[in-house]
Chains A and B, each alone.
Chain A
Amino acid sequence: MRGLALALIIIGIVALSPPARAVDESGALPLPVKSVDAATVTPLLDPDAPAWSDAPESLLRFNRTPPLYVGDATDDGHRPEVRMRALRLPDGSLVLCARWSDATKTTSGRGVRYPDAGDPHIYPIHTENTGAFPDAFCAMVPKRRGPQSPYPSMMMGEKADPVELYYWRAGVGLELLAAHGRASTAPGGTAQPFAARYHDGGWTLIVVLPSLTPKTPLCFAVWDGERQQRDGLKYFSLWYEAQ
């Protein structure tokens, strides 16, 4: 009797449950976008450009990956405050302006030559720092764009659903990478224009993502170099959909 009651309850729960989510109802959060009629992207690389002034700003939700390796720092509860604005150009490109808090500016050095005016044929460039990791930011989008695009694995995509990564590192610049799973990143093409500056306790970064049609999912990651973050040790967002 008790078993029958339990079965009826289970049947009732199943019957009353909403239908499974369609692909386009993935739970991705909306990322408001302002359309602009700019002919070129260059003026938009200035975060003080008029086009950005009334662009809607979103406060993104970030989490931290668990420690991956022995000795990795555990989550200390800190999260960067990441604010995002987005402009869509007539050609479909998306221009993102990310502003995130980072108390310490950590850049990747490129070495120093001594003496400063030394003959490069005589004096090699010196490594000055062996333990620093740069602050970094990444926007990940599926290679297949548009409203029907899949939601690839958040761990750098997968074989069937590869991703593109717009990966910026302080002191290095912006790289375009391709990936189809963990540890599979490889150069992915010509990097797009970008602008970055550190001020008032945080970074402002503007990157251009070409051909990002509405409803294309995208997600983000931030690395704090001061916390020795690199590789999979980072802050990450879940999927957003550019509106």
Chain B
Amino acid sequence: MGLISGLKSSLQQVRESLFTEEEQKRIGIYGPPNAGKTTLANRIARDWTGDAVGPESHVPHETRRARRKENVEIERNGSSVNIDIVDTPGVTTKVDYEEFLDYEEFDQDEAVRRSREATEGVAEAMHWLREDVDGVIYVLDSTTDPFTQVNTMLIGIIESRDLPVLIFANKIDLDDASIKRIEDAFPQHETVPLSALEGDNMDEVYDKIAEYFG
């Protein structure tokens, strides 16, 4: 009898964990290289779990493998949403080791290796987008032109999958940031300005995350 009830309760636990697993939304943080995706992921993770997701860097393609932070519980207005954050490598159509050579810390072999890993990272990011995300935070550097092939294509793919998407106009702490340029580029989606590095406007960020992905 004890055995059976023990079995029942463990079955119940399994069912519950399966159920909550389903509830948990996996939110992919996508965008071109150097938009601040990891900085944002780290800020979200630090704000709500105390841990970081991965190292940030001014060097593009610092994130060359998707990293996931599970069970990030964001409380808003008395209720809470529970999400997994997937920080993905920056998506691009061309990777060239020579761009790493501009940074003095890399010799050619290291630059080639980084380049190869970055390419693998793009493949991984695209794979996750296909298989494994329930919503997308699309991070753009608001100091750069958002009208790029990569942005258009990725937003198009996300739209074709009917995934909820938020556009984050990052780096608004910089002088040449233009939120409007990003809003104009993707008027069909909600654009949220922020500085992940400085923590500017993070309240609205979490409001929108709860609203869109809760």
Q: Do A and B actually bind? A: no
